[in-house]
Copies of this chain bind each other. A is one copy, B any other.
Amino acid sequence: MLNQPQVVSAKTRERVQAAMKELNFHLNPAASALRRGHGNVITVLAASLAQPWYTKLMRALKVEIEARGFTVMLVDLQHDPEVLRQALLPNSQHLPTGMVLATGDLLADTETFEAIRAAHATRPMVVIGQHVPDAEWPTVQFTDEEWAYRATREMLQHADSVAFLGQLEGSYLATERLAGYLRAVREVGLDEERWVWPIATRGYEAGLEAVHRRIDAGEIPGAILAINDELALGGSRALLTRGLRIPEDVAVMGFGNTDFLDYVTPTLSSVDGSATEAARVAIDALWAQFEEQPFPELTVLERTLVHRESTRNSEPA
């Protein structure tokens, strides 16, 4: 009766509901989960809670998941493949209901790939951020190579060199964006290697340090494309403290279009991608698996360039 209230008569139903209220009775979710064979929790594995983009995505995912009557369990992977593998083990989970894996860290290496395969054998799953060859799960990702290419080409209209702030081993996203950057640089006949800047980590401080080091070495490009907004802000700070003007001396563009960009000085341009849309498509694909419906193997979402003060063409033609 509790799960199909319409099968009993209205009178009985009301009597039961009154009694439930009076006795302050509530279903025991562990017992329900045991009997049904699954709980109502979706685990979201996010690359890092310290990065604003994942916070943004996380909130969008919560909206979609809660709209379906499920709750979210959030795991902060901290960019550590070992944390991911642990999180994927069945015993660290609640009953296998579903998982969302959102990370830009490379998943195609053998060990991680096998861990995901094993986890996916037990429960529905969706990956946001990267398509792994031979994946059996649905993937949602952005057109990163393409938009890194476009951002670079556009910056090259106003600058004779563009640095890529964000070469990072083990990062799928950094590698995709680097590929787009290199394609653009190659097309205009510039030296491909010259302005590729590696970073130590993904945070503000790493951006600050990398740019300081290059200025010390006398290498000052006409523009910088950073793989995220934190690096863009850290890099900007380094430029400003060294007396360089943004965008007059060096233009700056990040990735992610996170909240703070409109409030820093100068405001920062960024390559945007809709967290809301990514979340919607991903959760649709997850639910299709619950219902044993077909799902799109790969969904590719477009991006847009958002110009602010840190790039020269903040007034698009």
Contacts and interface: CB of A to CB of B under 8 A. Distances in A.
A58 to B, nearest CB: 7
Interface string A239-269: 0110000000000000000011011110000
23 contacts: A26-B90, A26-B91, A28-B34, A28-B95, A29-B93, A30-B30, A30-B31, A30-B34, A41-B94, A49-B55, A50-B55, A72-B74, A73-B73, A74-B74, A203-B259, A204-B263, A205-B262, A207-B263, A230-B260, A233-B264, A234-B263, A264-B264, A264-B265
A33 interface: yes
B39 A49 contact: no
Interface in A198-213: 203-205, 207-208
Contacts of A95: 28-30
Given A204-B260, A233-B264, A259-B50, A76 B91 contact: no
A59 interface: yes
Contacts of A55: 49-50, 55
A312 interface: no
> Which 7 A-B pairs give the minimum distances between C-beta atoms?
A30-B33, A26-B91, A26-B90, A30-B34, A204-B263, A237-B263, A74-B74
A71 interface: yes
Interface string A65-95: 0000001111010000000000001111111
A124 to B, nearest CB: 17
Given A28-B95, A30-B95, A233 B259 contact: no
Given A30-B34, A50-B55, A72-B74, 9 more contacts: A30-B33, A41-B73, A49-B59, A208-B263, A233-B260, A236-B263, A236-B265, A237-B264, A264-B264
Interface string A196-230: 00000001110110000000000000000000001
Nearest to A246: B265
- Identical copies of this chain, number: 2
- Count chain B CB atoms within 10 A of each CB in A29, A30, A207 and give the residue with the most: A30
Contact of A265 (B24, B50, B204, B237): B237
Interface residues on A, range: 35 or more
A1 interface: no
Nearest to A29: B94
Nearest to A73: B73
A10 interface: no
A50 to B, nearest CB: 7
A233 B33 contact: no
